[in-house]
Amino acid sequence: MIELFFGPTPNCWKVSIFLEEARIPYRLSPIFLDIGDQFKPEFLAISPNNRIPAIIDHRPADGGEPLALFESGAILLYLAEKHCIFLPTDARGRADTMAWLMWQMGGLGPMLGQHGHFLLYAAERHQYALDRYRAEARRLYGVLDRRLSDTQSYVAGDAFTIADIATFPWVMTHKRQQISLDDYPAVARWFAEVRGRPAVQAGIAAGKSLFANRTPASGASRDRLFGLTATQERPREE
């Protein structure tokens, strides 16, 4: 049984999609970022970086004590290796999958996260930040589009892998980020195919009822949501 510490975010959907695709039993433990669940000592013991997702594998392969793990890429790799699924076993296929997984972790996710933050959530408009992160977001979409044009199938080649699972939830934000997939036809083709997978749909729907009807974060709850500690105060305005 996998316990998934979860909120409705692209990084968490990576893990719920994997678990649904692999048909691995799991339960959700909701983490409400706006009330500071991520700063509680019991969660920090699992995820020292106070970020979601995190998991506890209550039946690790070595048969020992429950195994806690944080960082979405590490979780995907751990689960793929444990269950021998969505990670090629041949050297070249594995290398390609790992490269594109790291590309998502180090590039697409962080850059789209910053673009989305300054576009949708920043209290003040920072034109330099908007221009910088939008240009990088579009560049990365171009990288992905060229890759998918080459493979004519999935991100790491002919097979659906953890590289697709990691990438899809971030591309799912394209409308809110005001990026049109009409500009990236290979991405659009891939996105429609992956979105049509029943397990992907189930992974995205996971926990929806747990987070329904929550009011938008503001004030102190907004500060907690965007990374200030539970005890930090907003900077005083002079």
Both tokens of 224, joined, read: 């907690």
With tokens 């060229």, the residue in question is 146
* pTM score over 0.75: yes
Separation of alpha carbons 163 and 10, rounded Å: 14
Would you say residue 178 has pLDDT above 60?
Answer: yes
The residue count of the chain comes to 238
pLDDT of 222: 53
Separation of alpha carbons 177 and 170, rounded Å: 10
Mean pLDDT of the region 129-155: 98
pLDDT of 179: 98
Does residue 163 contact residue 154 with C-beta atoms inside 8 Å? yes
pLDDT tens figures, 185-232: 999 999 999 999 999 999 999 999 999 877 665 565 556 566 655 554
- Averaged confidence pLDDT in the chain: 92
pLDDT of 123: 87
With tokens 């806690």, the residue in question is 68
Strands (E), 16-126: 26-30, 54-57, 67-70
pLDDT of 186: 98
Per the model's pLDDT, the better-predicted residue between 227 and 116 turns out to be: 116
Q: Listing from the earlier edge strand, what are the strands of the sheet with 26-30?
A: 26-30, 2-6, 54-57, 67-70
